[in-house]
Amino acid sequence: MQSKQVLNLDDVRKIAAAAEAEAKANNWAVTISIVDDGGHLLWLQRLDGAAPISASIAPAKARTAALGRRETKTYEDMINNGRFSFITAPNLDGMLEGGVPILVNNQCVGAVGVSGVKSSEDVQIGKAGIAALGA
């Protein structure tokens, strides 16, 4: 039987705090979402001024990154490059850049999804959060 790492609440709080700090340092109003490896919501934080829709988009990005075990930009690029049929993939509704998997020892333990600014900035915030784990 194999063992696997899992995120605990302290891990989630570290990720969220670092992501929030990155967003605030840049004056970015975003929603930050963190999910486990099955895409189940562990954290949702909408910063002051973030658009209400971002509270739906961020968890979708996180869920897609966790289930696919890759950055959501992969899916957005695939669709933008003409593979339009991929939008019918089941259970993946956040195929926009801004979802980043959390990898520990090459295992996906969850993901961060951010929404509210440019997609590359969403990724920057998510990666800053993940870096706080030191994994």
Distances (CA, A) of 50 to 22, 45, 57: 15, 10, 12
Domains and CATH numbers, the chain: 9-131 (3.30.450.150)
pLDDT in tens, 2-37: 888 999 999 999 999 999 999 999 999 999 999 999
What residues pair up with 33 in beta bridges, in sequence order?
44, 113
C-alpha span between 23 and 45 (Å, rounded): 12
Instruction: Specify the pTM.
Output: 0.95
| pLDDT tens, residue by residue, 91-128 | 888 999 999 999 999 999 999 999 999 999 999 999 99
CA–CA gap between residue 40 and residue 61 (Å, rounded): 12
